[in-house]
């Protein structure tokens, strides 16, 4: 099954969080890209934090450039999580 944004919207956050764990364990290129997309674009903070955590847990460094944008996220938890999961990024104050 191909992961698409339209399918993402139909799942409740709990379902998306479980899907994140599964995609992280698959490790395929499509799954990694879907995790990056969820981490960057999902409206629910829990989904974004879990996607970031899963990418960091598996040391998926190709996600690092994408997540530097989240250092200025409106959610303080997201801003703190990126440097923890991806050493080399630095936390910046929220404007």
User: pLDDT tens for residues 23-32?
Assistant: 888 877 888 8
Q: What is the 3-state secondary structure (H, E, C) of the chain?
A: CCCCHHHHHHCCHHHHHHHHHHHHHHCCHHHHHHHHHHHHHCCCHHHHHHHHHHHHHCCCHHHHHHHHHHHHCCCHHHHHHHHHHCECECCCCCC
pLDDT bracket for residue 7 (50, 70, 90): low
Q: What is the pTM of this model?
A: 0.68
User: pLDDT tens for residues 65-77?
Assistant: 777 778 888 888 8
Domain ranges of the chain: 13-85
pLDDT of amino acid 93: 40
């Amino acid at each position: 099954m191909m992961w698409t944004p339209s399918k993402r919207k139909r799942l409740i956050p709990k379902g998306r969080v479980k899907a994140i764990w599964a995609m992280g364990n698959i490790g395929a290129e499509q799954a990694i890209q879907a995790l990056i997309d969820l981490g960057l674009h999902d409206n629910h903070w829990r989904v974004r934090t879990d996607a970031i955590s899963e990418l960091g847990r598996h040391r998926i460094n190709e996600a690092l450039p994408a997540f530097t944008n989240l250092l200025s996220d409106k959610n303080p938890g997201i801003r703190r999580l990126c440097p923890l999961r991806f050493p080399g990024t630095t936390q910046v104050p929220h404007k």
